[in-house]
Structure 1
């Protein structure tokens, strides 16, 4: 299973600021209706077949 990245690590991989990563995660949570970051990760892993 891939590592669950925090905002700083995610931002580093995407070459964006940690604040921008935080905003993107918040937006994804709002759009998907999922309660937290872990649920978002689990959903993404399921969709990607990981």
Structure 2
């Protein structure tokens, strides 16, 4: 799921976790947690449009 999240936010970094979750058919909580974990690990360094 993390790779799918990254693919989506690479194309549009302005999407909220709820939007990404809807695109993936996952819960907002799961997506938000995965995004937060990737931020802590330095995989996601920031969000840009």
TM-score, length-scaled by structure 1: 0.58
Unaligned runs of at least 5 residues, structure 1: 46-50
> Mind listing any 5+ residue stretches in structure 2 that lack a counterpart?
1-10
Q: How many residues align?
A: 38
SS of residue paired to 2:41:
helix
Higher relative helix content: 1
Q: Whose relative contact order is higher, 1 or 2, with alpha carbons under 8 Å and at least 6 apart?
A: 2
Alpha-carbon RMSD: 2.5
- So what's the TM-score if we normalise by structure 2? 0.59
